[in-house]
Homo-oligomer: A and B are copies of this chain.
Amino acid sequence: MSTAVSTDPRTGESTPVAPESTPGEVAMVARAAADAAPGLAAIGRAGRAALLRVAAARLEDAGDEIVDTADRETAIGPDRLRGELARTCFQLRLFADVAEEGSYLEATVDHARDTPMGPGPDLRRMLVPLGPVAVFGASNFPLAFSVPGGDTASAIAAGCPVVVKAHESHPATSLLAFRALRAAANEVGAPDRTVGVVLGKRAGAALVADPHITAVGFTGSAAGARALQEIINDRPDPIPFYGELSSINPVVITPAAAAARGAAIAEGMIASVTTSAGQLCTKPGLAFVPLGAAGDALVARMAELVAATPPRYLLNARIHDSYGRLSSRLGGLAGVEVVSTGPGPDGAGFGAAAELLTVAADDLRPEVTEECFGPLVVAVRYRDHDELLAALRELPGSLAAAVHAEDGHPDDADLEPLLDVLRPRAGRILFDGYPTGVLVAWAQTHGGPWPATNTVHTSVGPTAIRRFLRPLTWQNAPQRVLPPELRDDGPAIPHRIDGILRLPS
């Protein structure tokens, strides 16, 4: 039997954490989650909101231990991890608000009436939980996209029990977070097995195949997603699979912006490229920089900053090896030049050097636009607007795309042709900023066209809850069998009644 281990990226040394889950254990945890569903329904929206809030409090209680453990397992650094804990708790509390506010239910009542097709029945509809959700923790966010992360918060708010497949990079952190969630469940009277955890890659595969699992939330590689999708395709009942996969996140700098504030853009870019060692799904992988003096200066400043970037520890051996392999391959491609490399790591662990590469826009091709997870960016030098747009049209879908333009400059007066190319290729378009930093907010979209994701939903923000719900309609139902939210004397939540959206007064 295999053992899940904590590996310190700063030394490469491993210590055992717990045995990996056997197939029998996975089946038991999945069944326990299914058994927890009625209890999680029974505590209602208020109970689930309480669960989410108490979970945030218990995570905060264990904050020091969690941050220490996560730092030892990921080398992300205590500052960012404390920020991630704050974000995770903010997220849990926001989803508590979402559960209470109730608009996510899309509660709808159509009273019996005459229609051109004859008399219509009384129809009442709302969204109901799908059932147990499998969540795959991410390597790069041991909290915010892992056991207590956004998928878990969405699923619980929706009323779905969760089984998390802990990421190999941080099993000890995952178990600490799991204990905080379970303590919260016990404290508010939710079923003990509202949240479960399994360990090990094979456990993840078994989980996705398990008949009790009704949906999957995944953050990871496109290859990993393809493998899980194949397992789903082989199920007798294919289930929804919501994956966040791979993203190159282009940043476009217009000539006017390069001229007006090239140095500041270079600094913002390299900060965005190297934060969290470049291991963010929204890391800008491509910077489109105009040819000419202003663009040259911008690239030169980026090169200086990269040369001064100390080596960063990557999350695990796989990402470390993959970064080495991919950065070497990129640097060796015809037309690609390695402009600057930061100081290399010394000694043990999974250290890696930052890198800046350049390529001409008319040399951009799929090998160059593959995501390289780590502190590397490719500056794409373009001659003119037409060449820029032609190069952008060849890009795969991204989570985010950024535009740096000069608001008052006549050259940048009409951004429409540029945005026409970017809109179909991104889930978020941002202006005069950098793609990293994804605020948990109602208006957020963390999702984009394939291969960024395989879904038409966001995985960050309250609307992520929709992924784990399905509509159910009651026709001519007696009041007593309706859920409270659809009764005539139901709670004060938004309703659509006879076609008209109404808010509680």
Residues of A in contact with B (beta carbons under 8 Å apart) = 38, 83, 86-87, 90, 97, 101, 103, 106, 108-110, 115-117, 120-121, 123-125, 128, 130-131, 229, 233, 237-240, 397, 407, 415-416, 419-420, 423-424, 426-433, 439-445, 447, 449-451, 454-458, 463, 467, 469-478, 481, 494, 496, 499, 501-503
Contact = CB atoms under 8 A, between A and B. Distances in A.
Given A90-B117, A456-B470, 11 more contacts: A97-B499, A130-B456, A233-B233, A407-B478, A423-B472, A431-B476, A433-B475, A442-B496, A445-B471, A447-B470, A494-B501
B433 A476 contact: yes
Contact of A499 (B121, B239, B442, B496): B442
Contact of A108 (B83, B433, B442, B473): B442
B86 A117 contact: yes
Contacts of A108: 442-443
Most buried by B among A239, A397, A427, A444: A444
Contacts of A502: 503
Nearest to A480: B415
Contact of A444 (B130, B397, B450, B473): B473
Contacts of A441: 110, 120, 123
A472 B439 CA distance: 14
Nearest to A124: B443
Given A473-B427, A473-B445, A121 B439 contact: yes
A279 to B, nearest CB: 18
Nearest to A108: B443
24 contacts: A106-B463, A108-B443, A110-B443, A117-B440, A123-B443, A128-B423, A130-B456, A229-B238, A240-B455, A407-B478, A415-B481, A426-B472, A428-B472, A431-B476, A431-B477, A445-B471, A456-B467, A456-B469, A456-B470, A456-B471, A457-B471, A458-B471, A463-B471, A494-B501
Contact of A131 (B424, B442, B477): B424
A83 B117 contact: yes
A219 B456 CA distance: 21
Contacts of A494: 501
A199 to B, nearest CB: 29
Contacts of A423: 128, 472
